[in-house]
Structure 1
């Protein structure tokens, strides 16, 4: 764990501008790590961002977590219980800004959402990670995730592949 302090906080409806900021930074920093693109997300209206965060906050099925250092948002992760598959939770949008990597923030965020999903009754957590993202894959493997099936394209028209992973 890092000696540099950071805090984790569940995003409240009023945090939508922080969420938008960190999500757009993530898409710029790591365009090959996400199924969406900066161009698509940047074009969304403020109301979309506000509605997305408010819906997650009030659903009881989502945990949208922000990481902060020195009061500035530096990471995020979203975990959602599956409505279609009881016992399943999906992890997505995980990202830590480059200057904050290696400080334990990614592991702390992951531990938080895994514990939340377990308390919520999830017996397995699923995610997809780009096969070229070795650091993320190693983090997930250290937390018990294993490959689960064949790779798939990151998004339409992309040559990048995503490895589905699951943690029982």
Structure 2
């Protein structure tokens, strides 16, 4: 993604994804990038060498291959810059609690407010649906993401997940 130095930076546009149409491809592609990056980072943290030919673990394939089925009952928002999809956030809701399941900004678009806009869009969508809090989890090595979440009012709480190094955060709506 190139940026014209003479044009002011455009703010990301956040919209609800239509998973029955072309947005499904965009969501699958963004989620694939997110999951592959996560798997690579896990190997780096464990100091193991990933197999570049290895497919995504089975538990993730449905999200990439059939996002409409994988995210049925979820709210999926897309971020666009210059009419290009540059990010995605997946929000689930249950019993007044919304949970951000995936949040990804294309690396080339980072630093342009994409992550902040997606996070704000997810919180707004949670509030509009009547949720009283939003929660999420993030790996402790993702310090940039932790700073973003905490800057938006998320606070660390005891973990609801038994995976080591996963940080859980909550914020009221």
User: Which TM-score band applies after superposition, normalised by the shorter structure?
Assistant: 0.7 to 0.9
Q: 1:132 to 1:153 in 2, by over 3 A?
A: farther
Distance (Å, rounded) in 2 between the aligned partners of 1:45 and 1:130: 20
Deviations 1:57-105 (A, max 9, x none): xxxxx320111223332111111111xxx22111121111111111011
Indicate the residue corresponding to 1:59 in structure 2.
none
TM-score between both structures, scaled by the size of structure 1: 0.77
Q: 1:25 to 1:129 in 2, by over 3 A?
A: same
User: Contact between 2:12 and 2:117, CA under 8 Å: does it hold in 1?
Assistant: no
Indicate the residue corresponding to 2:112 in structure 1.
103
TM-score between both structures, scaled by the size of structure 2: 0.75
Shift of 1:42: 7.0
Indicate the residue corresponding to 2:93 in structure 1.
81
Answer with 1 or 2: which has the greater Rg: 2
Deviations 1:135-165 (A, max 9, x none): 00011101111111048554xxxxx510111
**Local SS of the residue matching 2:87:** strand
**Local SS of the residue matching 2:75:** strand
Q: Which consecutive unaligned segments of at least 5 residues does structure 1 have? A: 57-61, 155-159
Q: Which consecutive unaligned segments of at least 5 residues does structure 2 have? A: 1-7, 43-54
Q: 1:19 to 1:89 in 2, by over 3 A?
A: same
Moved more, 44-53 or 19-28: 44-53
Equivalent in 21, 26, 35 of residue 34 of structure 2: 26
User: Contact between 1:77 and 1:94, CA under 8 Å: does it hold in 2?
Assistant: yes
Q: 1:4 to 1:140 in 2, by over 3 A?
A: same
Asked if residue 52 in structure 1 is aligned to residue 56 in structure 2, the reply is no
Distance (Å, rounded) in 1 between the aligned partners of 2:89 and 2:142: 16
Distance (Å, rounded) in 2 between the aligned partners of 1:16 and 1:118: 25
Asked if residue 9 in structure 1 is aligned to residue 21 in structure 2, the reply is no
User: Contact between 1:151 and 1:162, CA under 8 Å: does it hold in 2?
Assistant: no
User: Contact between 1:74 and 1:97, CA under 8 Å: does it hold in 2?
Assistant: yes
Moved more, 68-77 or 43-52: 43-52
**Number of matched residues?**
150
Asked if residue 146 in structure 1 is aligned to residue 146 in structure 2, the reply is no
